[in-house]
Structure formats: C-alpha cells, structure tokens
Amino acid sequence: MKKCALVTGASGFTGRYMVEELSAAGYDVVGLASDALDDSANYISADLTDHAQLIEVVTSLQPDVVVHLAALAFVGHGDASAFYNVNLIGTRNLLEALCACDKKPEAVLLASSANVYGNQSSGFLSETALPNPANDYAVSKIAMEYMARLWMDKLPIVIARPFNYTGVGQDEKFLLPKIVSHFRRKAPVIELGNLDVSRDFSDVRSVVNAYLKLVKSCPQGETFNVASGSIYSLMDIIQLCTELTGHAIEVTVNPDFVRTNEIKELGGDASKLTGRIGDWKKAELRETLSWMLLG
C-alpha cells in the first residue's frame, strides 16, 4: 500500500513539481490548495487560516509525510499582515492539525527561506549564520521556524531554507523569469537594477529532489540550506541567455529597481545538506535557462 504524502501549496510553482517528484517516488499524493486546480493529482481545497477546516481535512487524511510549501512568497506583496496570517499562523494551524491525527506522520518538511539571513552578510552562508531578516516576508519565515520548535517534541519536523530558485512556470514578477521572458519575445531592451550583484540560483527540479531526500531521511529538528553553491551576476545571466538564444538585448539600469547597500556576492553553503542526503539532482544554471528559454 502506498504511503500518503500531503503537499500544501500544491497548485503553486514549487508545489506542482513537488507533487510530480513525490508521485514518481511512489507516494499517493494529496495536494492542499486554496485556488483552482488541475486533474494531475488528488487535490483538496482548504485554507490554512481556517483552523477548524484544516483540522477536519488533515485528520481525515492521516498523512504519512507532509511537505509544507504553502506561503505568501512575493516579498513585494503590499499587505504585511498577510505574511503573518499565512506563513506563521497558517503553519501553526497545520502543525496543530497534524498533532490531532491518530497517526503521527513520519516526516514534516517546512519550507522556510534563505531570506531569513537578510543582506548583512556576504559570501557563502551556512546554517550557522545569524538570521537578520530585512522585510516582513523574511520575519514571518524566521518566526515560523521559531514557532515550529514548540512542536518538535510532538512531530518529526525538518526545516529547509532554499536560496533563490527558478524554472518553467515561475511568475514573471521574479527576476529570472522576467529576463527569460524578454529573451523569448526578443525584446530589444530590458530594465534591471544592480547589475554587479551575484546570487545563488537553483533549479526548482533540484530543490524538490532535495526536499524528497530530506523527507525520506527525516533528520528531525534540523535546518538545512538548499542551494547550488554557485553564484552568477545579472550580466552573467544575460550573457548565458544571449548564448542560448542568439538574441542580443540592451540592458539599462532603472534607478527604481536599484537597492541601496545591497550585498555584492551572496550564496548558499549546502555542505550540511549534501552530507545528510548525498548526491542530489543539482542542475547547472545554463541547463535551467535552456529549459526555460527553449523548452
């Protein structure tokens, strides 16, 4: 009999790939989401902020493993309170619902964010770097991590802190999909902000593979960076897109997009993750961009 895997935020960008990854690994996947869904998996419409509804849904499922991806993730979202209602209180509701189940799950992975580190440290950050969140999204995520520790004697929780990642289907309000979109439609010009900053970018397919391996090994109470370990500047990315498409694009700096005091180089040290799960499907950025640009 297949084990039941519950994925929250299953209709979102990461959720769709997570459902595919778990299904390919032999799980019977149930997706939890609050919006319109397709027929590629079993989905249940539920709102994380509806405490009573969530308890009813989760206790009826009795999941064997849980991957909690549902979150308000766009940093520029205008309603600050929504970050806390969904990312903090919604997660607490989920953990309480899981504790109400007759059967304790084998693993509960909570997706946090490398945004919790803020912009005060440069280089390749490990999990020992002190959190220094710089916006409400990041504060809501570190608050979620601290809140989750109240439940770690009751549930097998593992926390993942992904650095930037991308892939087909990510909203164009995020940086790399914006750049890819300009190249796909052969736009003559693109407006960007700081051109000399370098960041760590992973492939969403790599990220969900790491999540699967963490669920299977379930290092309870541990926190792991999920990162490629390589950094690229915006101009590096523009150059890769030019090489892949043969299209040259003029890059202009829009002062409205420039962030003051931004760290020049920032990446993730994923050695703790690799030490725990071994090799995982890390794709090079050129491969990811080729997939996004050329299909």
Return the active site residues. Answer: 137
Neighbouring C-beta atoms of residue 231, cutoff 10 Å? 22
Query: What is the phi/psi pair of residue 254, to 5°?
Result: -95, 115
Judged by DSSP in three states, 257 sits in helix
- Which residue in the block uniquely carries the two structure tokens 């149930």? 30
Provide DSSP, the chain.
-PPEEEEETTTSHHHHHHHHHHHHTT-EEEEEESS---SSSEEEE--TT-HHHHHHHHHHH--SEEEE------TT-S-HHHHIIIIIIIHHHHHHHHHTSSS--SEEEEE--GGGGTTS--EEE-TTSPP---SHHHHHHHHHHHHHGGGTTTS-EEEEEE--EE-TT--TTSHHHHHHHHHHTT-SEEEES-SS-EEE-EEHHHHHHHHHHHHHH--TT-EEEE--S-EEEHHHHHHHHHHHH----EEEE-GGGPPTT--SEEEE--HHHHHHH----PPPHHHHHHHHHH-
Query: How far separated are the first and last CA of the chain, in Å rounded?
Result: 36
Q: Are the C-beta atoms of 277 and 214 separated by less than 8 Å?
A: yes
User: Cα–Cα distance between 71 and 75 in angstroms, integer?
Assistant: 11
